[in-house]
Copies of this chain bind each other. A is one copy, B any other.
């Protein structure tokens, strides 16, 4: 039916999270019908991001610069470091504008089931950042899942002996809940009531 170019575009869109084949088709149709107001702006935005896309060599965030905007921001409190599983979690916390410090993205969580070991995550680089000094508090902002908490405990062990205060998000988090899906109110409460790791 549609030309190969349109078919390829539909497939590329349908592979995005939250877009199935049907919604991808509707999105493509919208793009084709609204060239000036939809297709061209999206194209230019993708080009701009693609040209400058980088993974931050300090924290693991993805951004259009390295270091990322958070790491490069001189107003951030370098004494507080928030460790998260995924870039999505960093973005969720940033949207809430509640955490004034810096971040460290692990790139996942320890999982015996999925065969994810400590060396598969950015844990050594976290220890190196802490060992370099200047950080007073490490917030272990893992998801409230079994694997998230296992990861937090493992990191707490690895950071033993360093002069940092370890905290974790208060259990305002619904059990089994994932950070990235939380409303900002819950996230705010969990962050305000964060407590030392036992």
A positions within 8 Å CB-CB of B: 1-3, 5-6, 8-9, 11-13, 15-19, 23, 25-27, 29-33, 35, 38-43, 45-50, 52-53, 62-65, 69-70, 87-88, 91, 94-95, 97, 180
Q: What distance in Å separates the Cβ of A183 from its nearest Cβ neighbour in chain B?
A: 11
B50 touches A8 (CB 8 A): no
Give the complex CA separation of A70 and B40 in angstroms.
25
Q: Apart from A3-B69, A16-B27, A39-B50, what 18 extra A-B contacts exist at CB < 8 Å?
A: A2-B91, A2-B94, A5-B48, A5-B49, A6-B63, A6-B64, A8-B41, A12-B41, A15-B38, A17-B26, A17-B27, A19-B23, A29-B88, A32-B49, A39-B49, A39-B53, A40-B50, A43-B50
Q: Which residues of B contact A41 (CB under 8 A)?
A: 8, 12
Contacts of A97 in B (CB 8 A): 1
Chain B residues, Cβ within 8 Å of A63: 2-3, 6
Q: How far is the CA of A36 from the CA of B15 in the complex (A)?
A: 13
Of the candidates B27, B45, B91, the one whose C-beta lies within 8 Å of that of A8 is B45
